[in-house]
A and B are shown apart, each in its own frame.
Chain A
Amino acid sequence: MAGVVVKGRFPRRRIIRVVATNVFRYLFRGAARNWLRNIGSTAPALSSMTLLLLLSGLVGMVGFALHNLEQVQSAQASLLHVYLRDGAPPADVGALWARLAKDPRVATVSYVSKDEALARAQGTPGLPQLAAATDSNPFPASLDVRVKNISDVAAIDRLVRSDIAVDAADPTSYDKGAYQRIQAVLFGFAVAGFAFLALLGFVAVTVTMNSIRAAIHSRRDEVTIMQLVGAPRWMVRGPFVVEGAITGALSGATAGLITFGLAMLGMAEGSTTFAQFAPGITVTVAAIAAALVFAAGLGLGSGSSLVSVRRHLES
Chain B
Amino acid sequence: MRPILEFTGVTRAYGPRLALDDVHLALEPGELTFLVGPSGAGKTTLLKLINREIRPTRGEVWVDGLAAHKMKASRVSELRRRVGVVFQDYKLLPRLTAKENVALALQVSDLRVSDEEASERAIDALEAVGLGDRGGSFPRQLSGGQQQRVAVARAVVAQPPLLIADEPTGNLDMDTSWEMMDLFADIAAFGTAVLIATHNVEIVTRLQRRVLTLVEGRLVRDQPAGSTGRMAWLALS
Give chain A's interface residues, CB within 8 Å of chain B.
14-15, 18-19, 21-23, 26, 221-222, 224-233, 235, 315
Dominant secondary structure of chain B at its interface with chain A: helix
Task: State the 5 A-B residue pairs at the shortest beta-carbon distance, nearest first.
Answer: A315-B73, A230-B80, A231-B108, A230-B81, A230-B109
| Complex alpha-carbon distance, A228 and B89, angstroms | 14
In the assembled complex, 24 residue pairs joining A and B whose CB atoms fall closer than 8 Å, in A order, are: A14-B114, A15-B112, A18-B111, A18-B114, A19-B112, A22-B113, A221-B91, A222-B93, A225-B91, A225-B92, A226-B108, A227-B77, A228-B51, A229-B80, A229-B85, A229-B154, A230-B109, A230-B158, A231-B77, A231-B109, A232-B77, A235-B108, A315-B73, A315-B76
CA distance A232 to B111 in the complex (A): 10
Instruction: Point out the residues of chain A lying under 8 angstroms from B51, CB to CB.
Output: 228
Q: Are A21 and B80 in contact (CB under 8 A)?
A: no
Contact B77 A225 (CB under 8 A): no
CB distance from A173 to the nearest CB of B (A): 68
Complex CA–CA separation, A14 to B105 (angstroms): 21
B107 at the interface (CB under 8 A from A): yes
Docked CA distance A65–B3 (Å): 73
**In the assembled complex, how far is the CB of residue B83 from the closest CB belonging to chain A, in whole angstroms?**
8
Task: Select which of A18, A228, A231 is within 8 A of B85 by beta carbon.
Answer: A228
A18-B114, A221-B91 known; A229 vs B74 contact (CB < 8 Å): no
Cβ-closest chain B residue relative to A37? B95
Number of interface residues of B (CB under 8 A): 24
Knowing A22-B107, A230-B105, A230-B108 touch, does A225 contact B113 (C-beta < 8 A)?
no
Within 8 Å of chain A (Cβ to Cβ): is B179?
A: no
Which single residue of chain B is at the shortest CB-CB distance from A26? B108
In the docked arrangement, what's the CA distance between A10 and B159, Å? 23
Once the chains are docked, how many angstroms separate the CA of A226 from the CA of B74? 14
Q: Is A227's CB under 8 angstroms from B115's CB?
A: no
| A315 surroundings in chain B (CB, below 8 A) | 73-74, 76
Asked if B104 is an interface residue, CB under 8 A from chain A, the answer is: yes
CA separation between A23 and B114, bound complex, in Å? 11
* Distance A23 CA – B110 CA, assembled complex (angstroms): 11
B residues in contact with A227, CB < 8 Å: 76-77, 80
In the complex, what residues of A have CB within 8 A of residue B112's CB?
Answer: 15, 18-19
What residues of chain A lie closer than 8 Å to B104, measured between beta carbons?
229
Q: Which of B39-89 contact A (CB under 8 A)?
A: 51, 73-74, 76-78, 80-81, 85
Q: Report the bound CA distance from A261 to B77 in whole Å.
A: 48
Answer whether A18 and B113 are a contact pair too, CB < 8 Å, given A225-B91, A233-B74: yes
Report how far A19 CA is from B113 CA in the complex, Å. 8
- By beta carbon, the residue of chain A nearest B84 is A229
Which of A26, A225, A235 is most buried by chain B, counting CB atoms within 10 A of its CB?
A225
A14-B114, A224-B91, A231-B109 known; 12 other A-B pairs, CB under 8 Å?
Answer: A21-B114, A21-B115, A26-B108, A225-B92, A227-B76, A227-B80, A228-B80, A228-B85, A228-B91, A230-B108, A233-B77, A315-B76
> Which residues of chain A are near B108, meaning CB under 8 Å?
26, 226, 229-232, 235
A230 → chain B closest CB, angstroms: 4
CB distance from B179 to the nearest CB of A (A): 23
Residues of B within 8 A of A222 (CB): 93
Which residues of B sit under 8 angstroms from A233, Cβ to Cβ? 73-74, 76-77
Give the CA-CA distance A226 to B92 in the complex, in Å.
10
